[in-house]
Amino acid sequence: MVFKRLLGALGVGGPTVDTALDPGPVLPGSTLTGQVHIEGGSGDVEIAQVALELVARVEAEDADGESEGVVAFERYTVGGGFRLAAGERLSLPFGVPLPWETPVTELHGQPLGIVLGVRTELAVAGARDKGDLDPLTVRPLPVQEAILEAFGSLGFGFRSADLEYGRVGGTGQRLPFYQEIEITPSPRFAHQVNEIEVTFLAHPGGVEVVLEADKRGGFLSPGHDALTHVTVGHDEVRDWTAEVDGWVRRLVEHRAAYGAHGGFGPGGHGHGGSGSGGHDHGEQAYAGHAGHHQGQGHGASGSGAGAAVAAGAAGLAVGVVGGMVAAEVVDEVGDFFEGDEDEGDGEEA
């Protein structure tokens, strides 16, 4: 989807901008490539700067409840300092590095409901106009995909995904928000947890994996949240199904830090208690109360990797293919970009 919009700040007859990203999903930490097409208007103008911004729709929580907003989390200058003649057409190719923590928007071609975009801004004679917005599709890194597929093979199902404004304490997080992928428990753990939330924080050396379990309470004890924090390398080869099964077992069984308090909101995940150790990458487990957003489920546990692979979409992707979630996700993403287009005068390319 590419939008071509008249730059309202420059009046009728101003230049137009049309950014086209190279086709296909990109990986976190990879290079985003494409071209910015600029067409001159009715008169000559000086283009001071051509910039790209990465933007995301993010949820935030405070004492008044939840809200949504758009956060710009990276900016690049890809051109500028030239004169554009009336009617002249100019194309600026670009290649810019994506942050390693760029959220994943799809799994095996199925959208997860995460909305990312690339916004183009022209600065002309002191006036700036955000004249173009294009959706950005990001697929998981190989190790992220392997971990998610392991959850699917163990019988966990996809519930929802969102971006939360704030920080995950005790990690090397760099962006002002983090992604949560909410999955339903497998039958084996259904009596112990309501859901498990997975957060990936990638960096050049590997990926930090934070698991949060919303644990069910007993007859005399309230439910609480537990956290496990593991770091894995990009090129590690493991039996990921066994590895993830071990993470989840230790997560739901961990009781040492029961009752510690921690908040999620803008301050990030609250960590209490001590690490459980015993993992070659320094696994830690925590427990604490948390009052953060819990997504509404649309289905039960996934059917596992075997059936999903046969259907052409492995692991957790089977939870999205069910229909309702995928349809709602597409509607939300479309509404986001259509709404942006309606903010100014323009036409769809």
What is the overall mean pLDDT for the chain?
A: 75
CB 55 within 8 A of CB 99: no
Q: What pLDDT digit, counting tens, does each position of 147-185 carry?
A: 999 999 999 999 999 999 999 988 999 999 999 999 999
Higher local confidence (pLDDT), 274 or 98: 98
Q: Which pLDDT band, with edges at 50, 70 and 90, does 287 fall under?
A: very low
How many residues make up the chain in this entry?
349
pLDDT of the residue at 125: 75
Average pLDDT over residues 215-228: 49
> Is residue 89 over pLDDT 70?
yes
Tokens at 9, concatenated? 């700040």
The per-residue pLDDT for range 309-330, each reduced to its tens digit, is 223 234 454 443 333 333 343 3
Position with higher pLDDT, 192 vs 143 = 143
Average pLDDT of span 49-76 = 92
Is pLDDT above 60 for 10?
no
| Residue tagged 């190790």 (tokens) | 143
Confidence band (pLDDT; 50, 70, 90) for 96?
very high
- Cα 122 to chain center, whole Å? 26
The percentage of the chain sitting over the pLDDT mark of 70, rounded to a whole number, equals 64
Judged against a pLDDT cut of 50, whether residue 132 lies above it is answered with yes
- For 162, what's the count of Cα atoms within 13 Å in the CB-facing half-sphere? 22
Using the CB atoms, write b or e for 168-190: b if 16+ within 10 Å: bbbbebebebbbbbbbbbbeebe
Residues contacting 274, CB < 8 A, separation 6+: 256, 257
CB 336 within 8 A of CB 3: no
pLDDT band at 58 (very low <50, low <70, confident <90, very high): very high
Q: What is the DSSP code string of 9-59?
A: GG-TT--EEEEEEPSS-B-TTSEEEEEEEEE--SS-EEEEEEEEEEEEEEE
Confidence (pLDDT) at 339: 53
The helices-and-strands tally (H runs, E runs) of the chain is 5, 18
pLDDT at 214: 76
Residue 299 phi, psi (nearest 5): -170, 175
Cα separation, 128 vs 103, whole angstroms: 28
